[in-house]
Amino acid sequence: MSRAAMLCASLALVLLAAVPGPALAQTAEQPCNEFAPSLYDAIVKAKLTYLKRAIDAAGLTDILSNSTLNATLLAPSNDAFRDLYDDCDDDGTVLDLSDDDDGDDDDALNGDDDDDGDDRRRLLDDDDDDDDDDRPARCNARCQAARRARARALARRRALARKRALARRRALARRRALARRRRAIYCRRFPARCRRGGDDDDDDKRRRLLQDDSSRCFNTLLNNTELLTKILEYHVIPGVEATAGWPATGSRAVTTLGGAQVQLRKDDLDNGSEEFEDYEVVGPGDEEAEIVFGDLVAGAGMLHVIDDVLIPN
């Protein structure tokens, strides 16, 4: 059995689990905040064109169009797919779908990024004055508990700042590596223009060529049904996972349709924010995807738009 057929069978089981009785028993009143009647309709309405083409190529259109499908879809944005599929050879062959944790990342991590360093120092030094506060040597139990609570909160903020700085540097390293690869492709095709530096017209032509390369690479991957299905099943969670049910602290593991576990969590930075960007999905390889917009009710399911493509190990 092909992977696409296995995914269809798994989604069918989720569909059956959502219908405990006769189908007519499911004709309940539609919720007033429904975004679309089905997950597939939600993808179309949200204009997630790359994801729609991938689902069509994998043959999952019909089952995702069922309004009784009780599942949560983590839907990568168009930019997320473009960033993923730009990582290919100039003949359209995908090189590697995993994060590039090679020398490029090491260079970025070891380098001095002034903006990241300034942001991190400002965040880490927020409450340093509290540490230097002169207090009596004999402090009562209530005072000691308050100081311990402040120390724990400061440690959490510092850990979060370090993690975000590391993520920014890794993202910067990937963007720089992608820019070098795009430049190399252009120089292989037009060495004379590359040597003389080019002009504005050449830059426009180069952008068009690189866009064609991205489209060709995407089309090549669309033909790889097994790989497409493996990626798509990694973004489907049986049942509805609204952000209101995500843990306020820590994380909660859920199992995707592909059998892998992902962590649902909310940033524990105490800034009083309740934006969707505060919610993250973390894969087994510690890849992080923030929710761009979420809680889109689609029939019996739910859709969250995320800013990255989760890659199976």
Decide if 264 contacts 281 (C-beta within 8 A). yes
With a cut of 70, say whether residue 239 has pLDDT above it.
Answer: yes
pLDDT for position 74? 95
Q: Are residues 236 and 87 in the same domain?
A: yes
Q: How confident is the model at residue 136 (pLDDT cuts 50, 70, 90)?
A: low
Which residues, in sequence order, are bridge partners of residue 237? 72
Parallel, antiparallel, or unpaired: how do β-strands 251-255 and 288-298 relate? unpaired
- CB count within 10 Å of CB 291 equals 22
Per mean pLDDT, which range of 1-5, 112-116, 162-166, 260-264 is the poorest?
112-116
Q: Are residues 254 and 292 in the same domain?
A: yes
For residue 197, is it within any domain? no
For residue 71, is it within any domain? yes
**Span 210-216, average pLDDT:** 58
**Span 199-224, average pLDDT:** 63
Q: Which domain, by its residues, includes 83?
A: 3-94+219-306
pLDDT for position 238? 94
**Count: domains in the chain:** 2
| Nearest in space to 290 (alpha carbons), one of 116, 82, 79, 117 | 79
Q: Using the 3D structure, point to which of 170, 189, 208 is the last residue of a domain.
A: 189
For residue 199, is it within any domain? no
pLDDT for position 85? 56
For residue 12, is it within any domain? yes
Q: Are residues 301 and 261 in the same domain?
A: yes
Mean pLDDT of the chain: 71
With a cut of 90, say whether residue 65 has pLDDT above it.
Answer: yes
CATH number at residue 253: 2.30.180.10
pLDDT for position 118? 55
Q: Are residues 245 and 271 in the same domain?
A: yes
Q: Are residues 293 and 269 in the same domain?
A: yes
Q: Are residues 79 and 228 in the same domain?
A: yes
pLDDT for position 163? 78
Q: Are residues 79 and 127 in the same domain?
A: no
Q: How confident is the model at residue 219 (pLDDT cuts 50, 70, 90)?
A: confident
For residue 272, is it within any domain? yes
Q: For 96-119, how does the pLDDT look when each residue is reduced to its tens digit (9 = 90+)?
A: 444 444 444 444 444 444 555 555
Q: Are residues 294 and 249 in the same domain?
A: yes
**Span 130-136, average pLDDT:** 50
Q: Are residues 62 and 45 in the same domain?
A: yes
Decide if 272 contacts 41 (C-beta within 8 A). no
Q: Are residues 300 and 228 in the same domain?
A: yes
Q: Are residues 87 and 234 in the same domain?
A: yes
User: Mean pLDDT highest for which of 2-6, 31-35, 58-62, 143-147?
Assistant: 58-62
Per mean pLDDT, which range of 56-65, 97-106, 134-143 is the poorest?
97-106
For residue 311, is it within any domain? no
For residue 107, is it within any domain? yes
pLDDT for position 213? 53
With a cut of 50, say whether residue 296 has pLDDT above it.
Answer: yes
User: Mean pLDDT highest for which of 164-168, 181-185, 213-217, 236-240?
Assistant: 236-240
pLDDT for position 102? 43
With a cut of 70, say whether residue 199 has pLDDT above it.
Answer: no
For residue 207, is it within any domain? no
Q: Are residues 143 and 225 in the same domain?
A: no
Q: How confident is the model at residue 157 (pLDDT cuts 50, 70, 90)?
A: confident
With a cut of 60, say whether residue 301 has pLDDT above it.
Answer: yes
